[in-house]
Structure 1
Amino acid sequence: MHPKAGSTGADAVEPLAWRPLGATDRVDDADTVEQTLVDIRQKIYARSVLGWFARWRIALVVLTQALFYGLPWVNWNDRQAVLFDLGARKFYIFGMVLWPQDVIYLTLLLIISALGLFLFTAVAGRLFCGYACPQTVYTEIFMWIERRIEGDRIARIRLDESSLSLHKVRVKTIKHLLWLVVAVWTGFSFIGYFAPIRGLMADLMAFALGPWQWFWLLFYSFATWGNAGFLREQVCKYMCPYARFQSVMVDRDTLVVTYDKARGDPRGARSKKVDYKAQGLGDCVDCSICVQVCPTGIDIRDGLQYMCIGCGACVDACNEVMNKLEYPTGLIRYTSERALQEKLTAKDVRRHLLRPRVLIYSVLMLLLVSVFIAALATRTTLRVDVIRDRGMLGREVAGSLIENVYRLQMLNASEDALHLTLSVEGAPGLALKIVDGAVSSTTLEMASASNRIVAVVVRAPAGTMASGPHSITFVTKSTTPDGKLLTEIREKSSFIVPN
């Protein structure tokens, strides 16, 4: 018979993967599999906790959700400030308009994010998981609703173990209705990043959403409801890949939530009036509150485990108990393996944080962020690509002129309309005309945040150039209504003179 998750004592089965610091014993694979199945079937009733790290989690929940729910409603230049319009292939991010050609910026952003994750993990383990991961954030929101409706840990356990009654049905129904409200609003906000949210709201009220909009609204709502309401710690323990590969990114100097075994053991209950040191006891009173507050249901006193998301709930809970007993706090704390083994001071711990791995990640991040900012700052909002008409490489036309035909793919990535003037350089007598139906000119207007394909012909007097290709340059100038030059784009191509 194996003990349940969260049990304590010498016969407790320890988790697979990360082992207690310094442990060398092995766990039989069959026992581990059986314990895992027990953990999956057992519901975790996390106890509420107050403290420094709990306040940080609440602050980050409020901050992240204010951004997520609020950004789609912010306007910028008479449009939605953040909108990823997949149909129009335009990404609006405040004053920037990004096109598919700007995928390099997304690539840089993803690399920076990955390096940031490596850096945070090397410094403080699963810091992102415990405070900013969407799974953690929405689980916190759903658990807050659950506590308000059903009560804290003991009340929820009693309610679930009670027989079916009108009170139980009413409480459960109210809880799930509130969960669904949050889930649906989350799904609506999600698709509001890909379609104008004000129009989306009107369509939703009229039940006039498109098929894909209905699909993503229901899918994301159901995923939020299921993951945050039911799966919870199972996502972190068995579905999230980060939990599996994080062990290669931590070392002896990484700050992780750790139980000070040398100070806390032997564990045991005691009277506050008795000298527990004389009884041979450590500071841990074996109250198991650190297990009760853990959202993944582990016992941190068994050592560092991959299921620990580094939320610090057990730190707050243990410090609260230590304060009541008038013991020093920090029995469970953020510290490193080296600090525990070598009994380092806080100053020494901070000094060991600045190790080669952290410095390399920091330098690489700084370089990439600098490149990213510089690329955005120097980004040209007007782009011109010249494509030769391969069906008509060069021909002689009336008036003893040699003619080549080109297509200019033009993109205006700014939110201002542009007045453009086109010309061509590179050989004597070259002349360019924009062909737009029956109208020929050298100027055109580009609407804001638009792209356009323009057909142009370039002519030169016959006999002024030898047969074969000749290098030429297309010059596109963007000017203000009063003639002030804004941008000049130069693109090279070739002019072919037939034999």
Structure 2
Amino acid sequence: MNSTAPQPQPAGAPEPQDQDTFYAARKKLQVRSTTGVFATWRWALVWFTQLLYYGLPWLQWNDRQAVLFHLTERKFYVFGWVFWPQDVFYLAILLIISAYALFFFTAIAGRLWCGYACPQTVYTEIFMWIEEKIEGDRNARIKLDKSPLNARKLGLRGTKYAIWALVALWTGFTFVAYFSPVDELLQSAASFSFGPWELFWILFYGAFTYLFAGHLREQVCKYMCPYARFQGVMFDPDTLVITYDEDRGEPRGARKKGSDYKAAGKGDCIDCGICVQVCPTGIDIRQGLQYECIGCAACIDACDQVMDKMQYPRGLIRYSTENAMKKHWGMREILVHVMRPRTLVYGGILAAFCVALAWGLATRSTLRVDIIRDRASLATELSDGNIQNVYRLQVMNMTEAPRSFDLRVTGMDGAEIRGETRVDVPAATTQAVTLQVVVPPSSGRPGANHLYFEVNATDDASVAAREETTFLMPH
């Protein structure tokens, strides 16, 4: 029978290591706050994005919400524009622009989106700021984590969670306000009579904001966000990334301020660990570029402050490129290589799509006409010998003012509309009208003939549409 007792190891043999697993237990991070140039930029983006996000639903335009994706009416209001489901082309162009913007800026300077404008980063910054104001700085929070559960700890944690929940619910409410008019939502909130889908999305969006920004934090960036995994294919040796100058910093070690550390064989890094403490994903940038790095540059701000205190030059941790670090380039050489063929191609495509979108919006017609021929009565011979076809016109007024349109037909000799030839269409509305078109029997050949409907606004000659259809003549 074999013994399961551990076997003795030879003297000097390395200690046996634990077996690798697919799951790593999370070590809670208490991130140290920092100040500096890049921290200022991050907070500027926090203010900008959140003023935009929370403020847009409250802006008014033409006596309605300035930005409203009204799913019930199937209309998207964006300031002076009214978009319909038929305008999905513009959404496709916008998505292409977003994709190429991501490629372009990532190829130039890495994960700028992640570090400064991603909602996960923005709301994590907000939630961490609330946490610091209530529970104190990093050391105070670590001490609170280790303390036993008591009235003070319950009070602090309860207050923090309550404020997080309020921010998250207001974020969910604002999200729904982009799809349901905000004044109707306020009335529903006052009586707590939300529709089932409104309530679902307020709670769903709010719950995930609370969970991601309050508790998961770096786990989202490291394990849930796909961008962290495929960013490597968009990087190359000339991409600006946050780098640690190993030649200057190593060998690292503690020393007294003012000491001759060069004579002691030490580099500029004093091994204080502050660059790790301020990192929102808990990595050590001194180990090189890692996929967990979101490019927030908090370590740059922290290291620069330490360098100032030690009276060393700034830039031990800085934005640079792999080639620049190897070849000791200056900023001029770095900028020259940043604008390389790859970024020029991305930038050119991005600029082309932006111009195409701007041109499309500038020349977008405010009138659209759809024609459906009545298939129940393909062709009717009238008592006077003329041939009649029946059509249903959908006249879409894409402006926010009522308009009248004149209707006429061309393409066949003697073709005319029997009945009303003018249609009034309210603002931002589609008006359906049934028309009988008659032609003399000698106007066309048996079978399908080309016929054109011309629709013209009575108040603006430039607003016109000409749509082709077929007129059936009996055999």
TM-score bracket, shorter-length normalisation: over 0.9
Change (3 A) 1:166 1:492: same
1:210 shift after superposition? 0.5
What residue is the counterpart of 2:451 in the other structure? 472
1:85 shift after superposition? 0.4
Q: Indicate whether 1:427 and 2:412 are aligned.
A: yes
Q: Indicate whether 1:176 and 2:161 are aligned.
A: yes
1:418-448 deviation digits (Å, cap 9, x = unpaired): 1011000122221113xxxxxx311110011
Match of 1:306, SS state, is coil
Structure 1 CA distance, aligned partners of 2:87 and 2:402?
Answer: 20
1:493 shift after superposition? 1.5
Letter in 2 for 1:278: A
Match of 2:286, SS state, is helix
1:451 shift after superposition? 1.2
> Alignment partner for residue 165 of structure 1, among 131, 137, 150?
150
What residue is the counterpart of 1:459 in the other structure? 438
Structure 2 CA distance, aligned partners of 1:486 and 1:496?
Answer: 31
> Alignment partner for residue 495 of structure 1, among 468, 471, 474?
471
Letter in 2 for 1:455: T
Structure 2 CA distance, aligned partners of 1:464 and 1:285?
Answer: 94
What residue is the counterpart of 1:74 in the other structure? 59
1:470 shift after superposition? 2.0
Match of 1:216, SS state, is helix
Normalising by the residue count of structure 2, what TM-score does the alignment of the two structures yield? 0.95
Greater displacement, 449-458 / 253-262: 449-458
Structure 2 CA distance, aligned partners of 1:343 and 1:464?
Answer: 82
Contact 1:256-1:334 within 8 A present in 2 as well? yes
1:463 shift after superposition? 3.8
Contact 2:258-2:310 within 8 A present in 1 as well? no
What residue is the counterpart of 1:5 in the other structure? none
Structure 2 CA distance, aligned partners of 1:375 and 1:55?
Answer: 37
Change (3 A) 1:414 1:349: same
1:29 shift after superposition? 12
What residue is the counterpart of 2:11 in the other structure? none
1:190-225 deviation digits (Å, cap 9, x = unpaired): 000001112211211110110111100111111110
Structure 2 CA distance, aligned partners of 1:126 and 1:135?
Answer: 13
Structure 2 CA distance, aligned partners of 1:333 and 1:226?
Answer: 32
Normalising by the residue count of structure 1, what TM-score does the alignment of the two structures yield? 0.90
What residue is the counterpart of 2:24 in the other structure? 37
Aligned ranges 1:74-473 → 2 under 5 Å: 74-433=59-418, 440-473=419-452
1:47 shift after superposition? 0.1
Structure 1 CA distance, aligned partners of 2:212 and 2:115?
Answer: 16
Contact 1:120-1:127 within 8 A present in 2 as well? yes
Structure 2 CA distance, aligned partners of 1:464 and 1:165?
Answer: 94
1:467 shift after superposition? 2.5
Match of 1:423, SS state, is strand
Structure 1 CA distance, aligned partners of 2:442 and 2:334?
Answer: 80
Change (3 A) 1:308 1:30: farther
Task: Give the gaps of 5 or more residues in structure 2.
Answer: 1-16
Match of 1:164, SS state, is coil
Structure 2 CA distance, aligned partners of 1:160 and 1:29?
Answer: 27
What residue is the counterpart of 2:7 in the other structure? none
Number of residue-to-residue matches in the alignment: 459
Letter in 2 for 1:458: V
Letter in 2 for 1:271: K
What residue is the counterpart of 2:3 in the other structure? none
What residue is the counterpart of 1:58 in the other structure? 43
Letter in 2 for 1:227: F
Structure 2 CA distance, aligned partners of 1:466 and 1:92?
Answer: 46
Task: Give the gaps of 5 or more residues in structure 1.
Answer: 1-27, 434-439
Structure 1 CA distance, aligned partners of 2:125 and 2:139?
Answer: 18
Structure 1 CA distance, aligned partners of 2:449 and 2:213?
Answer: 65
Match of 1:409, SS state, is strand
- What fraction of aligned residue pairs are identical, expressed as a percent? 53
1:30 shift after superposition? 5.8
1:452 shift after superposition? 2.5
Contact 1:319-1:329 within 8 A present in 2 as well? yes
Contact 1:479-1:486 within 8 A present in 2 as well? no
Structure 1 CA distance, aligned partners of 2:18 and 2:323?
Answer: 29
Structure 2 CA distance, aligned partners of 1:277 and 1:346?
Answer: 26
What residue is the counterpart of 2:461 in the other structure? 485
Letter in 2 for 1:390: R
Match of 2:463, SS state, is strand
1:400 shift after superposition? 1.6
Structure 2 CA distance, aligned partners of 1:394 and 1:497?
Answer: 6
